[in-house]
Structure 1
């Protein structure tokens, strides 16, 4: 027996816009853009907290054929990269939906870790992919403050508490300790890529050295599955009437003005210095890949 609600829907279908009739294939699209885990007072940061709601909404889209992620990131925090990667895989399993990743300018380092969350990776042939490695960078100011006649007064409880302090001379044992941590994180990164990419990966000797390639070269190396773009790929898969539905996060006015959900940390005053340093670090990440 047909319910009154079903009858009403059937009668209303001819006058509804096509996108509301449920006849067009729908693919929700989430954009993962920017450096990962580098917040500042005015600059939005790509973290699990910033993308969780969009991912949840995408995977909950009624009638979704699959979920598409557009990745454009030079990397950043390995922790936030892994957290976002894991959340995508958890949702894909829970909702039993495939995930297609589309690489725009760059998916390198942590950005490539995000790309590996896809069941399929599609890259622009001129994009940059790879950079499977770990890097730490900073500055040493010990000689500068000595020339300025500034005394560095540092008090700790624990001999390693001030390891790699930028205002103190660098110690060989501190650098080795950092390199040990980097090796461990690098091994975890390699294991993740091997788990996700499997037998598609080539045996190129530089694959896990931090080297990077174009999307076209990445296809031969097994880093991506095909070259192309999201619109062409989705139309080939689901037809010309496929709807690519952009999923965007909802943000409050305070968050848009300050860059933080709690409204704390306005760029006025001390926030300006933090914003400037973050901008320099972010620019340096992109510049590594010629962008």
Structure 2
């Protein structure tokens, strides 16, 4: 009896040699497939999580941008939907210039909103400004007079610390001007300043070489000798602008103005003296005007302001803009 008779016959491998390792090989294949399946599941789970986080950050950026735009718009047009009786306030603060908070563009926008609101009983200009551009001040003065004629609402100017030069140019368009007894008011004049360096250049041995096409193109050049004809031309221009200023003040103040040789000399006075000279109508602040004259104690501020959202945008503008661009670029679906 053969001792191997009870054993099953050997299994031939593909090349014909017997193999008893087929079962372990099959088990190893199953383990490999299980491992790959687990890896695929983990990979898909990570990808889904990544997509969720990416979508979250996109939405967060878009929400931030939308919030900033809303805040900027809301505070750029304060009180635009106010309908209850109130006193409309427009601030005139700082230098009157193109890129300042007291630019003609911003003030006119605020004034239009204030005049167009049916609930606004009157408009108050609260002024604290040393002046600035006669052009910007003139534009605002003209617009105030136009809006008064169109809407039939009174305008009051209330002076805090300073109302000088171009700021008084604007105040002259108001129906009445109120000041504090210590306010600084006036400076009705025009100036053009500069420097001359010709003497210093001669001492240093520096030669100025200026080429122009046009005899007056280099007018008032600080490194060239003063030209009497050009100086006379500039002075005539200043006198003309000064006369425009004087005309606006006389039209605005009318018979209330007690003109003296010093009134239009460029001097300024305290509020008490300004009232005596007819440059102002009385002593009073915003609350007094709203309560006693307008008869509407609620004050709604229409002044466009550099709000928190805008300050953040200016401070972090580069990074916010870059993040917004990236978020918008990533809005395309992931394949």
- TM-score w.r.t. the length of structure 2 is 0.64
* Aligned mates of 2:159, 2:152 — CA distance in 1: 23
* Aligned mates of 2:227, 2:101 — CA distance in 1: 32
Question: Per-residue displacement from partner, 1:153-189 (whole Å, max 9, x unpaired)?
Answer: 2211111111101121222222211111111111111
* Aligned mates of 2:171, 2:113 — CA distance in 1: 19
Matched, 1:68 2:124: yes
> Is the Cα contact below 8 Å between 2:87 and 2:294 reproduced in 1?
no
* Aligned mates of 2:305, 2:101 — CA distance in 1: 15
Secondary structure class of the residue paired with 2:178: strand
Counterpart residue number, 1:51? 107
* Aligned mates of 2:206, 2:313 — CA distance in 1: 39
Counterpart residue number, 1:265? none
1:145 Cα deviation from its structure 2 partner: 4.1
* Aligned mates of 2:155, 2:263 — CA distance in 1: 24
> Is the Cα contact below 8 Å between 2:188 and 2:246 reproduced in 1?
yes
1:244 Cα deviation from its structure 2 partner: 0.7
Counterpart residue number, 1:26? 86
Matched, 1:237 2:293: yes
> Is the Cα contact below 8 Å between 2:101 and 2:305 reproduced in 1?
no
1:79 Cα deviation from its structure 2 partner: 1.2
1:85 Cα deviation from its structure 2 partner: 0.7
Matched, 1:106 2:134: no
Equivalent residue pairs, number? 233
* Aligned mates of 2:82, 2:150 — CA distance in 1: 26
Counterpart residue number, 1:261? none
Larger Rg: 2
Counterpart residue number, 2:284? 228
Secondary structure class of the residue paired with 2:120: coil
Counterpart residue number, 1:130? 186
Matched, 1:257 2:257: no
Counterpart residue number, 1:262? none
Counterpart residue number, 2:263? 207
> Is the Cα contact below 8 Å between 1:35 and 1:74 reproduced in 2?
yes
The 10-residue stretch of structure 1 (71-80 or 211-220) with the greater mean CA deviation from structure 2:
71-80
Q: Identify which of structures 1 and 2 has the higher relative contact order when contacts are C-alpha pairs closer than 8 Å and 6+ apart.
A: 1
Runs of at least 5 residues in structure 1 that lack an aligned partner in the other structure: 1-19, 259-291
Q: Once superposed, what is the RMSD of the aligned Cα atoms?
A: 2.4
1:21 Cα deviation from its structure 2 partner: 9.8
* Aligned mates of 2:279, 2:303 — CA distance in 1: 28
> Is the Cα contact below 8 Å between 2:159 and 2:178 reproduced in 1?
yes
Q: Which has more helix, going by share of residues?
A: 2
C-alpha distance 131-70 of structure 1, shift in aligned 2 (>3 A): same
In the TM superposition, 1:189-204 aligns within 5 A as 189-204=245-260
Counterpart residue number, 1:263? none
1:118 Cα deviation from its structure 2 partner: 0.5
Secondary structure class of the residue paired with 2:199: helix
Counterpart residue number, 2:275? 219
Question: Per-residue displacement from partner, 1:74-121 (whole Å, max 9, x unpaired)?
Answer: 112111111111111111211111101101111111111111110010
Counterpart residue number, 2:302? 247
- TM-score w.r.t. the length of structure 1 is 0.73
Question: Per-residue displacement from partner, 1:250-280 (whole Å, max 9, x unpaired)?
Answer: 667489739xxxxxxxxxxxxxxxxxxxxxx
> Is the Cα contact below 8 Å between 1:34 and 1:74 reproduced in 2?
yes
> Is the Cα contact below 8 Å between 2:127 and 2:163 reproduced in 1?
yes
* Aligned mates of 1:152, 1:174 — CA distance in 2: 18
Counterpart residue number, 2:199? 143
* Aligned mates of 2:181, 2:174 — CA distance in 1: 18
* Aligned mates of 1:171, 1:68 — CA distance in 2: 46
